[in-house]
Amino acid sequence: MLASKGIFAKQLYSLGIDFETVAATRAALAVPGFAIIAILSGAFRRDVALPRPHAVAAMAAGLVCYYLGSMANFYALTLIDASVERALLFTYPALVVLLGVLLGLERLRKSTLAALLATFSGIALVMGVDSTDGLDTDLTGALWVFFCAATIAIYFMVNAYLSPKMGSAMFTLLAMGAAGAAFAVHYELRHGWFNLSVSGEAWMWLAGLILVATILPLSLISEGLRSIGSRRAAFASTIGPPAAVVMAVIFLDEEITKLQFLGILVVVGSIVYLEILSRQNSDPSM
């Protein structure tokens, strides 16, 4: 479902909606949905106290990923195809590994380094290194996506640590609530909410973006992170890039070259290999 975000965004752009309006409306209107899920899950009925540092960390993760990162991502979608965006965004599991190495949480083994190099080689193919057409635009878009991927890696690590302590629904509500509030202020200062003008058709696509590509998948992701951790959750998301390619071709008439498709397969394969390595390294019997 999360892979459909680019499809909804591209459709909204084609209707004349700018990326700031899409990002801000999505974030602000999604907060009530996360609040309802938190209430229904019993997040507010628990007797376990919510330490202030944990709440602050969850909100900070939301601001980094779903305010700064999301803004960068929606801007990037004005520059590159949705299928390419999803493949580039999928580098976040590799960035999780790199962050783990930089923080001293794991060693950089030769096999891990090989998988990381393969990941970025696949990215080069996805970006179409064989063609210089629109390369400046593609590179700019790619850099913004990489920035977003880095924020997702941070969010995954914080989420995986805090969700078991406060519950996935509460973590998501705090993170998305902070991001929604930031976007509400941002849009008011930049454009003004009273100046918002959206057609009925655009509201339908926004509703799909909010419900199908935001509230449901992010709630499920947080629950998955709480249950199985950041590594396995990242591994489970390998379906994202291929799904995005199929949807982009069907709904947006995007054209994927053979080299780009090969690059997507290389990226996904490298992430799968990283997950296999992580399981082997964490299993003392292997």
CB 168 within 8 A of CB 222: yes
Model pLDDT, residue 103: 73
Say how far apart CA 97 and CA 217 lie, in whole Å. 23
**pLDDT, averaged in runs of 10, over the chain (286 residues):** 77 94 95 88 72 94 95 92 76 74 72 78 68 60 88 86 86 94 97 93 94 80 56 54 63 71 79 68 45
CB 44 within 8 A of CB 176: no
CB 145 within 8 A of CB 88: yes
The count of C-alpha atoms lying within 13 angstroms of the C-alpha of 130, restricted to the half-sphere facing its C-beta, is: 9
Model pLDDT, residue 285: 37
Amino acid at 269: G
Q: Which residues contact 184 (CB under 8 A, 6 or more apart)?
A: 24, 27, 28, 193
Model pLDDT, residue 87: 73
Model pLDDT, residue 226: 56
Model pLDDT, residue 2: 59
How much helix, strand and coil, in percent to the nearest 5, is found in the chain?
Answer: 80, 0, 20
User: What tokens were used for 95?
Assistant: 């960035």
CB 98 within 8 A of CB 116: yes
